[in-house]
Structure 1
Amino acid sequence: MNPYQSLPPRSFWRTAVAEPDMLDIGDLWTPKFAVDPDDPVLTAGSCFARHIGPALLEYGMNWREVELPPPGLTAAERLARHYGQFSFRTGNIYTAATLRQWLAWALGDETAPEEFWCENGRFFDPYRPAVEPDGYPSAEEASAARRVTLAAIRTAIGEAGCLVFTLGLTEAWRDRRTGTVYPVCPGTVRGTFDADRHAFGNFTFPEVYADLSAAVALARAANPRLNVLLTVSPVPLTATATGEHALTATTYSKSVLRAVAGQLAREHDHVDYFPSYEIVTGFPYRAVFFEPNLRTVTPAGVDFVMRHFFAGLERRPAGLEGRPAGPGAARPTGTSDGGDQLCDDAVLDYYNAG
């Protein structure tokens, strides 16, 4: 006898991956903790994370959208202002550093810089420049709106049962003066780029690990019963400032994020990892869950990911019920529901001279 003789079929590549039809591959996630349907669930992270909250709500779970839209906005206006996308109006949070930053401002002893970008008489928040597309009439109003969001984070974290956070990038731009991290490069979505002030960085494993550990610790200090479920976005980098090829830069970024998420999940009972990245980008799926740009995940792909998620919560196989009719049904048939429109970093493709 040897240890491999008693392993189940899911432990072997041939029986778990190579032989089954790709849509029948299941048993990919065994949750470490239960998520009660009545427990408030918060979502935050990269643009892929915006699919998770509405899916939870549709499934009958208690997804908590803390900042609700004012009455009278159209569906397009709500979408443009990032209502209904995440639990908070922080906009996309791509890096562990920016998650730690928001939680430190809301729950810790750090204070956000009182700096706002002015364009054509309107003021924009550098740390969520796309959330209010028309800006604010004054810096005071922009600051007041940020305080509303920070208060919402404090309240929601204190009441939540689970925080689902989707890691997206390791690349980021930092303010040399304050040390704060921007969600996107100044001068792209908003603002003006200043080479003397704005510094590029590509976070390493130790740096991401430190920031994510600190973020989890801040949240748990505010709410000791909070569980954290980590995922990694399958959406590749729109562009890289490292000088590397976009493919290898994406591989580095996702590898670091996946490794950090796995490490924290191994170290803490209150941290788990859900494999949305593997479900979309894994070998057996042959990129069928991407739009033709090989970046935007199709609605069928999002549905497939969430079906595995709910199957795991219910401790059942992600079987044939509700699955696409076949591989052809999983392929893109048109545009997705918003696509890159809500991904701040997608604006970088505008600067592609190729």
Structure 2
Amino acid sequence: MNPYQSLPVRAFWRPAVAEPDPLDIQDVWRPKFALGQDDPVVTAGSCFAAQIGRALLDSGMNWLNAEPAPPGLTRQQQQERGYGAFSFRTGNIYTPAVLRQWLSWAFGHAQPPEEAWAEGDRFFDPYRPAIEPEGFASPAHMLKAREVTLDAIRTAVTTASCLVFTMGLTEAWRDAAAGTVYPACPGTVRGTFDVDRHTLRNFTFAEAHRDMTEAIAMARLANPGLRILLTVSPQPLTATATGAHALPANGYSKSVLRAVAGQLALEDPDIDYFPSYELITGPVFGGRFFGPNHRTVTTEGVDFVMRHFVAGLRQRPAKPQPANDPAARPGDAACEDAVLDYYSPR
């Protein structure tokens, strides 16, 4: 006897991944904790995270929108202004550092800068430069709108049963003067790049793990019962400022974030990981869920991930299936762990 003889089908690559049609792969995620239909769920993170809130609503779950759009805006205007994408109007949060920063501002652990970026007679928020396409009428209006978002963060975090956060990147730009982290490089979406002030930071595993740990600690200080569900965006980075080729730069970024999510989930029973990254980028899918630019996730891919997400939320933990005693099978002879396929239940 050995441990592999009592493992279920889902533990073996051949029957769980290689043999089924890729669209029929099942039982990829078994949640560590249950979420009831009425439990408030808060979402934040990179652009892929916006899909999770919609999936929760479509499945009848209680997605919490703590900062709804004011009346009078069309659906397009709401989308252009960042309403309804996440549970609060921070815009995309790509890195754990920026999540930690928003939480520190919302709960009074740090004071946000009051600087506004001016373009003509309009003003933009450096820490969410895309949420108002036409800008604000004054820096005061900008700060007032930001305070509304900070209040929404407080409401969302203190009310939620679960925070779902999707990590997207390790690269970020810092303000050397203020010590803050931007969601986008100044001079791209808005603002002006200052070579003496704006510095690139490509976060290490230790830094990303620290930032995520501190962010969770701040959230739980306000809501001790808060559970965390982490995901990693499958969308590759658009560009890297490190000087590396975009392909290995993306590999570094996603590897670090995936490792951070996995480590945190190992450390805490109330932190879980949902494999959206693997469901899009796994080799068995052959890139079928990416558009022609090999970066944008197609509608088919989003729907596939969300089906697994909702199925996981609804399932009950399954008992391991007993192993059979199959005959030895050929293949992967040069790889020592290939012998484990012998113990697959089928």
C-alpha offsets along residues 21-43 of structure 1, whole Å, 9 cap, x if unaligned? 10111111110111111011110
Written as runs of structure 1 = structure 2, the 5 A alignment for 1:95-244 is 95-244=95-244
CA-CA distance at 1:316 after TM superposition = 6.3
Is the Cα–Cα contact under 8 Å of residues 162 and 228 in structure 1 kept in the other structure?
yes
Amino acid at match of 2:164: V
C-alpha offsets along residues 81-109 of structure 1, whole Å, 9 cap, x if unaligned? 01111100000000000000000000142
Structural RMSD (CA): 1.0
Cα separation, 2, equivalents of 1:133 and 1:142: 13
Q: Secondary structure at the match of 1:41?
A: strand
Q: Secondary structure at the match of 1:66?
A: coil
Q: Secondary structure at the match of 2:29?
A: coil
Cα separation, 2, equivalents of 1:91 and 1:294: 24
Is the Cα–Cα contact under 8 Å of residues 80 and 133 in structure 1 kept in the other structure?
yes
Q: Secondary structure at the match of 2:153?
A: helix
Q: Secondary structure at the match of 1:199?
A: strand
Question: Does residue 59 of structure 2 align to residue 53 of structure 1?
Answer: no
Matched residues, number: 317
Q: Secondary structure at the match of 1:71?
A: coil
Amino acid at match of 2:238: T
Question: Does residue 248 of structure 2 align to residue 248 of structure 1?
Answer: yes
Match in the other structure for 1:34: 34
Cα separation, 2, equivalents of 1:52 and 1:311: 13
Match in the other structure for 2:93: 93
Amino acid at match of 1:313: L
Cα separation, 1, equivalents of 2:24 and 2:61: 25
Amino acid at match of 1:122: R
Match in the other structure for 1:331: none
Question: Does residue 265 of structure 2 align to residue 265 of structure 1?
Answer: yes
CA-CA distance at 1:257 after TM superposition = 0.2
Bigger shift: 65-74 or 271-280?
Answer: 65-74
Is the Cα–Cα contact under 8 Å of residues 108 and 218 in structure 1 kept in the other structure?
no
In the alignment, structure 1 segments of 5+ residues that lack a partner are: 318-354
Is the Cα–Cα contact under 8 Å of residues 54 and 84 in structure 1 kept in the other structure?
no
Q: Secondary structure at the match of 1:26?
A: coil
- Share of identical aligned residues, percent? 67
C-alpha offsets along residues 204-233 of structure 1, whole Å, 9 cap, x if unaligned? 000000000000011111001111100000
Is the Cα–Cα contact under 8 Å of residues 232 and 277 in structure 2 kept in the other structure?
yes
Written as runs of structure 1 = structure 2, the 5 A alignment for 1:315-326 is 315=315
Q: Secondary structure at the match of 2:289?
A: coil
CA-CA distance at 1:12 after TM superposition = 1.4
Compare CA radii of gyration and give the structure with the larger one.
Answer: 2
Match in the other structure for 2:19: 19
C-alpha offsets along residues 114-170 of structure 1, whole Å, 9 cap, x if unaligned? 111000111100000000111101001100100110011111111110110000000
Written as runs of structure 1 = structure 2, the 5 A alignment for 1:281-292 is 281-292=281-292
Is the Cα–Cα contact under 8 Å of residues 55 and 310 in structure 2 kept in the other structure?
no
Q: Secondary structure at the match of 2:71?
A: coil
C-alpha offsets along residues 227-280 of structure 1, whole Å, 9 cap, x if unaligned? 110000000000000111111000000000000000000101111000000001
The structure, 1 or 2, with the larger RCO (C-alpha pairs under 8 Å, 6+ apart) is 2
Cα separation, 2, equivalents of 1:51 and 1:314: 18
Match in the other structure for 1:293: 293
Is the Cα–Cα contact under 8 Å of residues 291 and 298 in structure 1 kept in the other structure?
yes
- Give TM-score, length-normalised by structure 2: 0.90
Cα separation, 1, equivalents of 2:68 and 2:159: 17
Is the Cα–Cα contact under 8 Å of residues 65 and 88 in structure 2 kept in the other structure?
yes
Is the Cα–Cα contact under 8 Å of residues 162 and 227 in structure 2 kept in the other structure?
yes
C-alpha offsets along residues 27-70 of structure 1, whole Å, 9 cap, x if unaligned? 11110111111011110000111111111111111101111111
C-alpha offsets along residues 177-213 of structure 1, whole Å, 9 cap, x if unaligned? 1110000000000000000000001000000000000
- Give TM-score, length-normalised by structure 1: 0.88
Match in the other structure for 1:311: 311
In the alignment, structure 2 segments of 5+ residues that lack a partner are: 318-346
Amino acid at match of 2:314: E
Match in the other structure for 1:333: none
Q: Secondary structure at the match of 1:166?
A: strand
Q: Secondary structure at the match of 1:200?
A: strand
Cα separation, 2, equivalents of 1:157 and 1:74: 28
Cα separation, 1, equivalents of 2:58 and 2:68: 17
